[in-house]
Structure 1
Amino acid sequence: MPVLAQAILASHNAGKVKEFQGWLQPWIGELLPLPATIEIAETADSFVGNACLKAATAAKEMGAWAIADDSGLVVHALQGAPGIYSARYGATDAERIERLLREMAGVSDRAAEFICVIALARPDGTIAVTTEGRCAGEILTAPRGQGGFGYDPIFWVPSQQRTFAEMSPTEKQQVSHRGQALQRLREYFQTFNP
């Protein structure tokens, strides 16, 4: 018996809804995408702020429990950029990678990490919990691998000796920032009492 019969994922992305549903069964019976008519601007200045903003807005708009995530790539030598602007660093994945590699040209400190924050909001918009996942890595000087999306081809994970783009979806899920944040949300649901 799920702890929540239904919840809203504050996203229009069908692939993300499917991924979250897979992680959150059997605790959530049905995870629904945010209706296309509802747009939520990411106006906060942090991952946790944006995740909470999206979850709270979706919950109040729909009168239902809602989940939202915000994630991005944090590059130490670029003072944390692209950070919360990761998805807006260029018009396409290729442009975002090209811009980042251009900004990293000649930089010896390649340390970076992916961060993901997930927020769960009650139907009245109050936040029940936030979880966070981090995956440390390095920025390569050229893309490697055909899988994944976004910055995956240039994000090298030392513990795996591969980029995210060289991992299978299952392998990536086990070490990724989003996988870690989702695992912590699953742990929360084990003691959940709405």
Structure 2
Amino acid sequence: MTRPILTIASSNPKKVAEIEAMLGPLPIEVHKQPQDMNVEETGETYFENALLKGTATARETNSWTIADDSGLEVDALNGAPGIYSARFAQSNEEKLKKILNQLGDTPYRSARFCSAMVLCNPEGNLISNSEGICWGELLKHPAYPNGEFESIFWVREAKCTYGELSKEQLTKLGSRGKAARALAPHLLQEFNLTS
């Protein structure tokens, strides 16, 4: 029996493997998007950006597709950087320096990672979508060198930073993990894999 194919709308092997693991042990064949694909994220929400990527990838590959978009929202910065998290600065080092400078010494450091995920059919139509939120707070200094926002985002439930979460913790507590777990039943239903 041929296993159904699911394309993850990303050319990053690490992210593809991460989402595949978060979906759970499903009898499907997971592919990453074509290396030369680059969908411009012009949406105004995580959902809109995820849908742009999902629709384009599904049509290009003629396969079922999952796409996501994520960002960091800081309460003291009125939800910034939000959907602009990836474009907040040129490098990881600059991103950390910029956000820590903007926060200064304020004790009000609550924040959240937000993710939106979509499932599109091979024609590029939206079939289902989900979202996940991981609540935390920002440290005044990175917990480890050469990190990005994950190195200063403290997850109280796990007693470590987001970047230090294990694969199991990412699936359970991470924003992308929560979104993937919420989407998995719809994927099972569409692929007729429900028991």
Which TM-score applies when normalising by structure 2? 0.89
Q: How many residues align?
A: 192
> Aligned to 2:151, which of 150, 153, 158?
153
> Is 1:167 paired with 2:160?
no
2-structure distance, mates of 1:140, 1:158:
11
Deviation of 1:146 after TM superposition, in Å, equals 6.0
Query: Structure 1: which amino acid aligns with 2:35?
Result: A
Deviation of 1:89 after TM superposition, in Å, equals 1.1
**Is the 2:76–2:108 Cα contact (8 Å) retained in structure 1?**
yes
Which TM-score applies when normalising by structure 1? 0.89
Deviations for 1:54-88, whole angstroms, at most 9, x for unmatched residues? Answer: 10111112222111010010111111111111111
Query: Structure 2: which amino acid aligns with 1:41?
Result: E
**Is the 1:73–1:86 Cα contact (8 Å) retained in structure 2?**
yes
> Is 1:124 paired with 2:118?
no
Query: Structure 2: which amino acid aligns with 1:188?
Result: H
Query: Structure 2: which amino acid aligns with 1:150?
Result: E
**Is the 1:47–1:117 Cα contact (8 Å) retained in structure 2?**
yes
**Is the 1:56–1:127 Cα contact (8 Å) retained in structure 2?**
yes
Structure 1 unaligned regions, length at least 5: none
Query: 1:184 maps to which residue?
Result: 182
> Is 1:56 paired with 2:72?
no
Query: Structure 1: which amino acid aligns with 2:117?
Result: I
Please state whether the residue corresponding to 1:54 is helix, strand or coil: helix
Deviation of 1:26 after TM superposition, in Å, equals 4.3
Query: Structure 2: which amino acid aligns with 1:167?
Result: L
Calculate the aligned-residue CA RMSD, in Å: 2.1
List aligned pairs for 1:1-194, cutoff 5 A.
5-24=4-23, 26-27=25-26, 29-145=28-144, 149-192=147-190
Structure 2 unaligned regions, length at least 5: none
